[in-house]
Structure 1
Amino acid sequence: MSSHSLPISSLLALFFLFVLTRVPTILSVDDPRYSTCRETLTCGSVSNISYPFWGLNRLSYCGQPGFELRCENDVAEIMMNENTLRVLDIDPERQILKVAREDYWNGYCPTKFINTSINYDHFNYGSNLRNLTLFYGCNLPTTPTFTVFTNCSINNTLTDMSYATRNMLVDTRYSTCRGIVVVPVYEAAAKDLEVNPMTIQAALRGGFELQWKADNDECRRCRDSDGVCGYNQISNSFTCFCSDKPSETTCLPPTEGTF
């Protein structure tokens, strides 16, 4: 053995010293919020859902208030005021949420007359939409403006139903209506309804788009630094969960040791 050779035990010690100093994250314990929020949410046909949405396996600090999703019978739903909206699709790049009224999914004779309303703090209506106005119990004549479509049995009471695909002005004739409900539909669906009343269920099921507002640039910078986007419920602000601890902006790269 050469006088300059190191014994095996010394070589092993140097190797372990290298591992511990050069790759310190190997022995670090992940922040549980980092691990939890790395998980995506899946419900039925809607999958890989992440920030700003939360629900199920994604705890509330993984997303923003107002973005909770529920999963009912493999159907993703979001509550907005009195409306339960069925989630049809999510486009994270365009920040578009495609939804439909759950109470109009299987018919157009609801048990309650509730106008469509959204949370404007977090969402705006998308483009290429038109209001479909549904009139119940108004006894309105068929005109170029109104289409008398059918009768509905609502809470065991037979009620006539008519609709209009153009915005309506307030009129004293409507004071006798049992209910008036406005539901957004796509422009193309509204045009189809003007010539074919039988497409009304397809128009309602086709839904409408909402565009959400939620720190997209901050989240992108966080993800680029290997962080996970989340929400600080104490300061009510965006936070970036890193493997060791949260950061307000981005995660710092691991510190490399030297020897």
Structure 2
Amino acid sequence: MLPLPSFLFFVFFFIFSSIPTCLSEDDEAYTKCAPLQFPCGNNSYEIRYPFRVDVPDRPSYCSYPGYNLTCTKDGNLYADALSDNFIIQNITYSTNVLHVVDADFTSGGCPLPSRNSTIDSFTFSYINRVLRQKNVSNPAIDLFPFNYTNEVLNVTLYVSCTGPLTDLVISSYFLHELPCLTRGGNYAYFTLQPPTVSEGLAICSGPVIIPLLKSAANRLLGDGGANFGAVLESGFDVQWMVATKWCAECVSSGGRCGYDESNPIESTCFCRDGNQNAKCPSSALSAVASILLVCIVIFLSKFVKRTYVSNNKVEAFLKGYGSLASKRVSYSQLKKMTNSFKVKLGEGGYGGVFKEKLKDGRFVAVKVLNNSKGNGEEFINEVSSIGRTSHVNIVTLLGFCYEGSKRALIYEFMSNGSLEKFIYSNKSKGTKRILDWEKLFEIAVGIARGLEYLHRGCSTRILHFDIKPHNILLDDAFCPKISDFGLAKLCPKQESVVSMQDARGTIGYIAPEVYCRNFGGVSHKSDVYSYGMMVLEMVGGRKNIDAGVENTSEIYFPHWIYNHIALENSSALIGIVEEEKKEIVRKMVFVGLWCIQIDPTNRPSMSKVVEMLEGSVKSLEMPPKPFLSSHQ
């Protein structure tokens, strides 16, 4: 810790350097990014960060890439990232909320919905494309520029039914008839339950999913659907996912939010005096006491809490696991083992991985964690979860190092690397998958057994939350081992739902309920979803979302694999002609599709997955089609 005189010098220097000059002109960026009134039709909207409209002399740094708003000739305001289906009616910056309505529902009367009106986070690629063009990326919000607020729920419609549904079907699925759409021999029904597939509903079109505010949905239930058209026209709320916290702090401090292309992850607050930080300093000497308090808080949190509290937390954890003491090595020992980290295998957001040979002839992989990983949470997650395990399909922790900011994990070395090297093919590059179908199936079963062990075989249930091909390692015999427990969470076996403050996982494999609680509670079924996505990728030899395919209907791969393999049994599309291999593929497809069901309660447990894989394909029921796309 700094001695007291040095600390006081630091505080007073910060105070006086933070007081802006009152006589200087306002900074150019601060002036150009002022809120503006944008007329569109009969309305006028306040436009400020993160949104952009096409007006003269408005720099790009006043908005976030991709959050463009457009006023059409008919006087309606649209967000490019939401497509032209949704008209913006109101913008509330205090809560980061857009109130929108589907353009098809603004003509009054009782419209017959022919498509989903959902916001499909899985197909949001607009902002991703904009960022790629600028060679920057913000993985925290790239895929999800907008999401529903907590006041929105989905209403499921079954329309154009060729006859009335039976009382049993109506009561089983909590259906209510829509009088205004029941005409000409056709019937229509709605429910607040998730969409489902049933023989009793086969006479209907749909399901069609419509998001509504909870108040509107309750109104729909209350009047028996009599005001269906007015309820649809009332719209719903979506929340933008960029600058949800720091921008409000910037504005409250007198600044204006902006964007820095050279550092897109960090916040940029344009201040009158040209300062660009997370927020603006106070502008009067009367605020000296507040500034002093802020300085003290910053000093304590940066130089004391991060240094000591984090260390104490990890050390307390390690003392609680006495059995791990024999696996601990010093940093000097670690450097000798790795020849000062010279043989590097790879690099990731967590840090680097190095290869070394021990004195007994064994090769090991050393994962050195970055010092930027907060208060040691990732280190604790890895050690506490994997330190409890002993299974042929879980990578083995051989040792670890923890000396202040020096943190490393020592694992058994997997000579064949990760699964993702072996399962993807690329027609344009002429590359094909390397492993045969029998080996792929063995790997899928091995991963399922490893997950079953994590969910049921340990004294405490372990939820991985990052199952993907990159985190499946293969030994010299291609035996799969689950690795990378940095996002794992421990919970008692009797708890079916766990609490989480933030979404975790990798885009493309994250279960819907992890980032939007409207889909259900987060549980071990979230790992099942990730496993299902990975199995479908193993079958198709491509990513589950691929914007580079020739046919846009194939972008969301689970739909393509359901239509062509699950329904039509067209295994020849992926080069399979032998009957035994067809059975393997069909079994993997059925299991994968069951695992990615939107409703977590419809997904099998990992124990059931193992049973399905080891059983006969004839005993497997046809899974429902995944309901993720708004373009069905």
TM-score, normalised to structure 2, is 0.31
Q: Which amino acid aligns with 1:100?
A: V
Superposed, which structure 2 residues align to 1:1-259 within 5 Å?
25-26=24-25, 30-31=27-28, 33-42=29-38, 43=40, 44-57=42-55, 60-72=60-72, 73-80=74-81, 84-106=85-107, 108-109=111-112, 113-119=115-121, 121-142=144-165, 143=170, 145-150=175-180, 160=186, 162-167=188-193, 168-174=195-201, 177-194=204-221, 195-237=223-265, 238-242=267-271, 247-251=276-280
Q: Taking structure 1 as reference, are residues 250 and 150 closer, same or farther at Cα in structure 2, changes over 3 Å only? A: closer
Structure 1 residues not aligned, in runs of 5+: 1-21, 153-157, 255-259
The code of the aligned residue for 2:278 comes to T
Greater Cα offset, 173-182 or 86-95 = 173-182
Percent of aligned pairs with the same amino acid:
27
Contact 1:135 1:180 in 2 (8 A): yes
Deviations 1:144-194 (A, max 9, x none): 614154559xxxxx9946131321432245556544321112333323333
**Segments of 4+ in structure 1 off by > 6 A?**
none
1:95-128 CA-to-partner distances (Å, cap 9, x unmatched) read 2222211222225235x52341244723332234
Q: Distance in 2 between matches of 1:125 and 1:96?
A: 9
Where 1:70 maps in the other structure, the secondary structure is strand
Distance 1:192 1:179 in 2: 23
* SS of corresponding position for 1:209: strand
Mapped contact 1:78–1:87 kept (Cα < 8 A) = yes
Q: Aligned equivalents of 2:279 and 2:77: distance in 1?
A: 31
Flag the 1:128–1:221 CA change in 2: closer, same or farther, 3 A: closer
8 Å Cα contact 1:149/1:197 also seen in 2: yes
Q: Could you list the runs of 5+ residues in structure 2 that have no partner in the other structure?
A: 1-20, 122-142, 284-632
Cα distance in 1 for residues equivalent to 2:163 and 2:80: 33
Q: Distance in 2 between matches of 1:80 and 1:116?
A: 13
Q: Deviations over 1:40-69 (max 9, x none)?
A: 243443522322222233554322245322
1:253 Cα deviation after fit: 7.9
Q: Which has the higher contact order (CA 8 A, sep 6+)?
A: 1
* Aligned residue number for residue 612 of structure 2: none
Correspondence for 1:8: none
SS at match of 1:38: coil
The 8 Å contact of residues 46 and 90 in structure 1, kept in 2 or not, is answered as: no
Task: Compute the RMSD of aligned alpha carbons.
Answer: 3.6
How many residue pairs match? The answer is 225
Q: Partner of 1:34: helix, strand, or coil?
A: helix
